[in-house]
Structure 1
Amino acid sequence: MTTIQSPIAIDLDASTEVSWFTSTYLIAITSITPISGRLSTIFTPRIYLLVSVVIQASGLWLTSQAQSLTGFLAGRVVSGIGSAAITPVAFILVTELVSQRRRGLYFGIINTGYTTGVSCGAIIAGALEPRIGWRTVFWAQAPVALAAGVGAFFAIPQSKVTGNNSETDSEHKESLRDKLAQIDYFGVITLITSVVLLLYSLSAPKIQVTPVILSLASLTLFILVERHWAVNPIIPTAVLSSRGNMLTSFATLGVMTARWSLLFYTPTYVLTLRHWPQESAGLTLIPTNLGFGLGGLLIGWLHIRRTGSFYQAVLVCFGLFVLSMFTVSWISTPTSNIYLYLGIIFVNGFIAGALLNYSLAHVLHLTRPSTHVIVIPLNAMFRSLSGSFGASVGGGLFLRTLQHALKQEFQDRGITGKSQLIRQLLGRPGLVQKLDGVDKEVALLGYERALRLVYLAGGILTVCVLVLQAGTGWTAPGPEKDEGRSNGAQGRQVSAGEDTLSPVLSREG
C-alpha cells in the first residue's frame, strides 16, 4: 500500500487520512483471525477458506471501484475480513495433513510465502501503478485470488478419519442451520469489539484513552462469557488458562513489535542518513525479508523434524535477536558500511523467521492437540497485533525523540525560528536531502538519534519478553480425559469441559 498510496490519496482527496489505508485492513484481519479456528471446526477449512477468498476478492473489487474515502476504506475492511482466514487455516491444515517430521518445513514454507508476498507485492504494485493505475492494481488481484481459492478447495481433502475420531456418514450430514447454531455469537462480538477498539486507538494519530478502556471492558466481558456461559466458546478456557500458550503469545507480540519497528524505519535510515533516492529506499527491506523467509524454511527443514520441546532453541533465538537489534542500533550512522548494515538486517530477519517457527512448534508441544485449531489463530492474532504496536508505539517514540533532538540541537546552536522546519521534518524524511548547512547537520543528527533509540528500545523490549518466553516451560500437558460424546449434532459440538476441537477436516455436510 505504501508504494501506491500517493496517487490514491490524490484521486480520493484523502492526503491527511493515508494512514487509514493500511490501518483499516490490519484492524479487519486482526479482529477476525482469532475466530478463524473455531469457524474452521464448524464449516471445515476447505469451505471456510473458499468463502473467505470470495469475500477477499469482493473487497478487492469494491476497493478498485471506490469513488470516495469511505468506499475505499469499506473495501479495505472487506478485503481484510476475507484475508484473515488464509494464514491461520494454512497452519491448521499443516497440523492436520502433514507428518510430524515434515511439519516444521511446511511452517517455514508458509512463512516464506507470506514474506515473499509482502515484499514482492509492494515492488510489483509500485511498478505497475504508473502504467495501469491503482484501480487496476486492486481489481486484477481478484481473479488470481479466486483461482487460488478454488484450487485450494479441490486440493484439500473433504474428510479425514483418524483412529477413534471416525464419524459415520449420518454425522457428516449436518445442516447449515445446525452449524450456524454452534457459533458463539456473543463471544465473537465481544472479542472483535475489543480488538477493533484497541487497534483503532493505536492507529489514530494520537493514542486515545477512551477506546482502550472500552476495549478492556469488552475483553473482560468476553472472558466472562467464554468461562461461564458459552456452550461452544470461541477461545475455550483450556486455551485461555494455558500458561505456555498465553506467555508465548505475549512474547511473540513483543519480539514482532521490535521486528516491525525495524521494518518501518529501515527505509527511513537510507533515505535520510544515506541519501538514497525515494524509489530505492524500499529495496532495503529485501535482504531482511529474504532472511526471514530463509530462517523459517531452513530451521523447519533441518531441525524441526519432530514433536516435542524446543525450549532452549527458542530462548537462544530470542537472545540472538536482542543482539541483532542492539547491533542495528549501533551501526545506524551516516558513516557505517552499508553492506554491513544490510548484512545485519538480513541476520535479524533470519533469526526472526527461525524464532517464529521454533515458537510455534514449541507452543504446540505445550498445548493439547485438540486445542491446536484455536491456539494457532490466537498466536497469529498476536503476531498481527505487533504491526499496529510497532507502528504506534515505535512511531510515537521515534517522532518524540526526533522532535526533541531537533529542538535541542537548534537551541544549542542558538538558532531560533525553526518550528516550521521541524514540523516538516517530522513528516517528510526525504526533505533532509534538500537541506544544506546547519539545517542539514541538525536534521542528520536528529534522525540518527531517533533511529538508534527506536532500535535500542526494540532490543530492550525483546529482553523483557524473553523473560516471558522463559516462563513457558518445557513440559507438555498430561493426557486428555475422554469425556465421551452424545449423539447427534450436539455430540459433535465442543465439550465445554474438555474443549475438544479436532479433527477439523471431517465435519463437512
Structure 2
Amino acid sequence: MGQQHHGLSTARVAAIIVAMNFGVFIGALDGTVVTSLLSHIASELHELSRVGWIATGYLVACAAFQPLYGKISDIFGRQQVLLFCNFMFALGLVICGYSYDLETLVLGRVVSGIGGGGIMSLSTIVLSDLIPLRHRGIFQGIGNLCFGAGAGLGGIFGGVISDRYGWRKVFSLQVPAVVISMILLLVCFRNPAKKDQQEPLLSDDSSETYGATDASSKAPAQSNAAKIARIDFYGCGCLVATLVCLMFGISTGGNQFPWLSYPVVGSLVASLVFAAAFTYVELRIAKEPVIALHLFKEQTILASSLTNLFGTMAAYSILFFAPVYYSSVLNMTATEVGQRLAANFLGVAIGSFGSGVYMARTGRYYWIGVISGGLMIGAAWILLWITPEKPEILQYLALNITGLGYSIMLTVTLLALISAVPFEFHAVATSIQYAFRGIGSTLGVSVASSVFHNVLASQLQRRVHGKHAEEVISRVLDSVEAIRELPAKYQAPVLQSYDVACKVVFISVAILAGVCIITSSLQREHKLHSTLTREEEEAQQTN
C-alpha cells in the first residue's frame, strides 16, 4: 500500500478497520430494519400519512450532525467521539423499543440519528487517515460491503422479528450489538504504549490529534473548555435549523397542511433564512467552520457533492417505497419484503468491491461514476414495469441494481472529492460529502413521501366511490394493512391508487438519476496517489 506515516503496524490497522466496519454494519442494519417495518408501524399506530417522519427524523439528525464530526473528532479525538456516537445510537434504540405513539418513536429515531451519523462518517474519516488514496477504493469497498451486508440482512431481521415478536423488539434487540461495538472501539483504539510512540489516533491528549488538519491541533494538550470553544456552535445551529424547517415544509405540504398554508410556506421561507445565516457564519464569523465553504470553488468538489445529493435521493426513494409497493400492490408480508431487500446486498457487494479494485488497478474513476447513474435509471424502469403477473425475479433485480449503482456512486464520488484536495483537508472534504449524502437521504424520503401521499389521495378521491367512500379513503391513507380488510368492491380501486402513487415516485427516481449522470460527468479525474503524503510520492517520481 505504499509508505505509511501513521506509525501503526498492519495488525493494528486491521483491528481498527474491523472495529469501524462492525459499527457500520450495525448502523446499516438499523436503516433497512425501519424500511421493512414502516407499513406495520403505520398500521398499528394509524399514522400512515405521518409515518415518513420515522425515517425523516433519523435522516434529519444524521444530515445535521454528520458534518460536525470531522472537526469535532479533530478536537476531541476519534475514540471519544465514536464512543459518544455509539451511546446516542443505543439510547435512541431503547427509546424506540419502549415507544407507544408516533411522537416518542420519532424522538428515538432522532436520538439514534445523532449517533448514527457519526458512526458512518467517522469510519470513512479514519480510513482517510490510514490508507493511501490509490488503495482507498478497495478499503472503502470493504466498508460498503459491510454496509451492504447490514442493509441486506436488516430487512430480513426486521421482518422475521416483527412478524414473531412485534416491531418494538426489532429496536431493543439491536442494543447488545451496539454494546459490542463500543467494546471493540475501547480495545482496538486503546492508547499505544510509550515505546510505540504511535500516532495520536486514540487520545485527545496526544501531541497531535489523529487526522488533524490545522496547526492548533499540534499544540500541547488543551483543556475541555478550550476544545469546546473551538466548536462552531452558530454554524451547527443554523445548519440544523435549515434542515428541520426544510423537512417540515416538504413532508407536511399537501399532506397535513395545504402547500400555500402558513405552516408550510413559513417553514420553507425560514429554511432559506437559516441557510443564508449559515453561509454568512461559515464565511465571515466562524474561526473553524464546520463546513469549509471555500472548497466548493473546486469544480470536482461541487460536482461530487451534487452527485451524492441527487444519487442518494434516488436510492433512498427506491429503498423506502419499493417495500410500500411490494407490501400493498403485490400483497407481501414483512418477511417477504425483507427477502427482496436482501438482494440489494449483492449489488452493493459487487459495486463496492469491484469499483475499488478497478480504481486501485487503473487509477481511474470517471466513466464508472457516470455509469452508476444509468444503473439507477434501470432500476427505476424495472420497478415501473413490475406487476403482480410479471416474473418474481424482477422484484429482486430492481433492488439489486439499485445497490450496484448506488455503491459505485458512493465509492467514486468519495475518491473524486478527496483526490481534489491536499491530504490535510481529507477529513473536512469527507464531512462535506456526508453532509450532502445526509441531506440527500432526508430530501429523498421527504420528497418521495410527499409525492406518494399527494398522488395517493388524489387517486383515491377519483377512483373510490359509494356510501362509505370517505371512511375507506381515510382508513387506507393511514394503513396499508387496512386494504385487506376492505369489502371486495373497494380493494381493486384502492390497489390501483397505490400502484399509480408508487410508480409516480419511481418516475421521479429516474429523473433524479438522470440529473446524477449530468453532475457526475462534471467531475474531473484527478490522480489517485499511492502514499499518504503526496509531495513525497511526487518527489520520488522525479528522482
Is TM-score (shorter-chain normalized) higher than 0.5? yes
For 1:104 and 1:258, the matched residues in 2 are separated by 23
1:188 corresponds to:
236
2:400 corresponds to:
346
Of residues 381, 387, 400, the one that matches 1:333 is 387
1:235 offset after TM fit, Å? Answer: 1.2
Q: 2:304 matched to 1:248?
A: yes
1:451 offset after TM fit, Å? Answer: 2.9
| Deviations 1:279-316, CA, capped at 9 Å, x for gaps | 4233321212432243212322x212169552222112
1:399 corresponds to:
453
1:43 offset after TM fit, Å? Answer: 1.3
2:203 corresponds to:
none
For 1:385 and 1:115, the matched residues in 2 are separated by 20
Q: 2:121 matched to 1:88?
A: yes
What SS is found at the alignment partner of 2:133? coil
Q: 2:497 matched to 1:446?
A: yes
Gaps of 5+ in 1: 478-509
Of residues 163, 184, 188, the one that matches 1:151 is 184
Alignment of 1:266-285 (within 5 A): 266-277=322-333, 279-285=335-341
Alignment of 1:29-428 (within 5 A): 29-64=62-97, 72-128=105-161, 137-156=170-189, 159=199, 171-204=219-252, 205-206=255-256, 208-277=264-333, 279-300=335-356, 302-305=357-360, 310-329=365-384, 331-409=385-463, 418-428=469-479
For 2:62 and 2:152, the matched residues in 1 are separated by 18
What is the number of residues matched between the two proteins?
Answer: 472
One-letter amino acid of the structure 2 residue matched with residue 110 of structure 1: G
Shifted more, 274-283 versus 373-382: the winner is 274-283
Residues 299 and 523 of structure 2 are in contact (CA less than 8 Å); yes or no, is this contact kept in structure 1? yes
For 2:454 and 2:219, the matched residues in 1 are separated by 60
1:94 offset after TM fit, Å? Answer: 0.8
One-letter amino acid of the structure 2 residue matched with residue 295 of structure 1: G
Would the alpha carbon gap of residues 306 and 188 (structure 1) be closer, same or farther in structure 2, given more than 3 Å must change? farther
| Deviations 1:145-168, CA, capped at 9 Å, x for gaps | 233123224423752589999999
One-letter amino acid of the structure 2 residue matched with residue 83 of structure 1: G
For 1:110 and 1:286, the matched residues in 2 are separated by 17
Q: 2:490 matched to 1:466?
A: no
1:15 offset after TM fit, Å? Answer: 8.4
Q: 2:506 matched to 1:455?
A: yes
Would the alpha carbon gap of residues 228 and 274 (structure 1) be closer, same or farther in structure 2, given more than 3 Å must change? closer
| Deviations 1:456-509, CA, capped at 9 Å, x for gaps | 2211222123222222333579xxxxxxxxxxxxxxxxxxxxxxxxxxxxxxxx
| Deviations 1:314-350, CA, capped at 9 Å, x for gaps | 1122223223322332x22232212134224312321
1:5 offset after TM fit, Å? Answer: 6.8
For 2:403 and 2:174, the matched residues in 1 are separated by 27
TM-score (norm: length of structure 2): 0.75
For 1:16 and 1:344, the matched residues in 2 are separated by 26
1:91 offset after TM fit, Å? Answer: 0.3
One-letter amino acid of the structure 2 residue matched with residue 469 of structure 1: S
One-letter amino acid of the structure 2 residue matched with residue 446 of structure 1: S
For 1:238 and 1:245, the matched residues in 2 are separated by 10
What SS is found at the alignment partner of 1:304? helix
1:503 corresponds to:
none
Residues 62 and 75 of structure 1 are in contact (CA less than 8 Å); yes or no, is this contact kept in structure 2? yes
Cα RMSD (Å): 3.7
| Deviations 1:111-164, CA, capped at 9 Å, x for gaps | 232233244334334434576666665455334323312322442375258999
1:449 offset after TM fit, Å? Answer: 3.0
Would the alpha carbon gap of residues 469 and 41 (structure 1) be closer, same or farther in structure 2, given more than 3 Å must change? same
Shifted more, 336-345 versus 225-234: the winner is 336-345
What SS is found at the alignment partner of 1:346? helix
Residues 296 and 354 of structure 1 are in contact (CA less than 8 Å); yes or no, is this contact kept in structure 2? yes
For 2:474 and 2:101, the matched residues in 1 are separated by 28
What SS is found at the alignment partner of 2:343? helix
| Deviations 1:18-75, CA, capped at 9 Å, x for gaps | 5444333222222111111111111121221122223333343455456776655444
For 1:168 and 1:453, the matched residues in 2 are separated by 52
One-letter amino acid of the structure 2 residue matched with residue 22 of structure 1: A
1:4 offset after TM fit, Å? Answer: 5.8
What SS is found at the alignment partner of 2:321? helix
Shifted more, 186-195 versus 157-166: the winner is 157-166
One-letter amino acid of the structure 2 residue matched with residue 467 of structure 1: I
Gaps of 5+ in 2: 1-33, 192-198, 201-207, 529-543
For 2:41 and 2:314, the matched residues in 1 are separated by 29
Alignment of 1:480-495 (within 5 A): none
TM-score (norm: length of structure 1): 0.80
Would the alpha carbon gap of residues 432 and 237 (structure 1) be closer, same or farther in structure 2, given more than 3 Å must change? closer
1:252 offset after TM fit, Å? Answer: 1.6
Residues 109 and 297 of structure 1 are in contact (CA less than 8 Å); yes or no, is this contact kept in structure 2? yes
